[in-house]
Amino acid sequence: MEMDIHSRQQVARALTIAGSDSGGGAGIQADLKTFQELGVYGMSAITAVTAQNTLGVQAVYPLSPDAVIQQIHAVGDDIGVDAVKTGMLFSSEIILAVAEAIRHFGWTKVVVDPVMVAKGGAVLLQEEAIRALTGKLLPLTAVVTPNIPEAEQLTGSSIRGKADKEEAARRLAGFGARYVIIKGGHDEGAEAVDLLFDGRYFTELAGKRIATGHTHGTGCTFSAALTAGLARGLEVESAMREAKAFIQAAIEDGIKIGGGRGPTNHWAFQRSRLPR
Ligand SMILES: Nc1ncnc2c1ncn2[C@@H]1O[C@H](COP(=O)(O)OP(=O)(O)OP(=O)(O)O)[C@@H](O)[C@H]1O
Ligand SMILES: Cc1ncc(CO)c(N)n1
């Protein structure tokens, strides 16, 4: 096809491989909204369809590994991907298929958000799949972003304080992830502190903890913002700082919809930067 190259804009491209949240606050929907807000062209490969809203997850319909692979190849063969993130992967079969595709395309800016359970308790990753995640996906990972319970599950040890967090980060790096971010949303204290480990040094990033019911999709949104930064060429620490500012604004300005745990506000970050 003839294309006028002068009219084509160069744009950073990001792919999310994750589950669909019909309620629009988490999963694929949160990722695409976040990519858009951060100036990145968003694409998706859906791993599972959930029937979900602010009250919880009512049903989960996983897709076949082949369906996931075909979506990834459709995007990778034609459009190209500057950075990719994974969210809900559900089964070891899907994890193996995704790892194979990442290897096939040689993608290196790979963010793995090891989603395991929804905030209401629904299972988004089968227990037996944890080994596939650590063994097959983490060796291909640039940044893994567990919350505290996920870091405990992945390492098999409990996290009580800062020393335990650092030990868990070392263990996750030992599986092959180049950077580890252990998120502090599930901690206590006046600040939500995220811990970055680059394989040698630790850096803490703190934000004011907001007392709110609007935390549906915080993890998805944070890792999507991180992925958008990497797609645009930011280094991991800069992308993390931008992602933290993005999620902070999105939580502070949570949207009052639904009867349960409300979503964050994906346009709050850009709005806060507009001239008044
Ligand atoms: N109440 C809060 N106030 C401020 N920041 C928060 C709050 N809760 C979470 N965060 C921040 O949001 C980001 C996501 O962290 P969190 O630990 O909530 O992820 P998660 O548990 O994986 O989310 P999800 O349940 O959506 O998967 C982190 O940067 C964390 O510090
Ligand atoms: C589809 C999906 N992915 C991730 C999460 C975790 O927030 C969720 N609730 N739903």
Task: Give the CATH number for residue 248.
Answer: 3.40.1190.20
Tell me whether residue 257 is in a domain. yes
Q: Provide the total of helices (H) and of strands (E) in the chain, helices listed first.
A: 9, 9
Q: Is 123 among the domain residues?
A: yes
CA–centroid distance, 238 to ligand 1, in Å, is 18
* Residue 142 domain flag: yes
Is residue 1 included in any domain, yes or no? no
User: Could you confirm whether 136 is annotated as catalytic?
Assistant: no
| Nearest ligand by distance to the CA of 46 | 2
Tally of domains in the chain = 1
- ipTM associated with this complex: 0.98
Name the residue among 188, 191, 176, 252 with its Cα closest to residue 218. Answer: 252
Which residues make Cβ contacts (< 8 Å) with residue 169, sequence separation at least 6?
151, 180, 182, 195, 197, 202
Return the residue matching tokens 């599930």.
Answer: 186
**Where does residue 33 rank: exposed (0-12), middle (13-18), buried (19+ CB within 10 A)?**
buried
**Pick from 38, 31, 34: which is nearest to 12 by CA?**
38
| Residue 2 domain flag | no
Q: pLDDT 10s digit of each residue in the chain, 276 long?
A: 555 556 667 999 999 999 999 999 999 999 999 999 999 999 999 999 999 999 999 999 999 999 999 999 999 999 999 999 999 999 999 999 999 999 999 999 999 999 999 988 899 999 999 999 999 999 999 999 999 999 999 999 999 999 999 999 999 999 999 999 999 998 889 999 999 999 999 999 999 999 998 899 999 999 999 999 999 999 999 999 999 999 999 999 999 999 999 999 999 999 988 777
Residue 276 lies inside a defined structural domain of this protein: no
Give me the domain span that covers residue 251. Answer: 11-264
The rounded distance, in Å, linking the Cα atoms of 271 and 244 is 16
217 is annotated as an active-site residue: yes
Helix-helix angle 92-105:65-78, to 10 degrees: 20
Residue 249's H or E segment, with its range, is helix 236-252
Report the separation in Å between the CA atom of 249 and the middle of ligand 1, taken as the mean of its atom positions: 12
Is the pTM higher than 0.90? The answer reads: yes
220 lines ligand 2 (CB under 6 A): yes
Residue 237 lies in a domain: yes
Residue nearest to atom 3 of ligand 2 (CA): 27
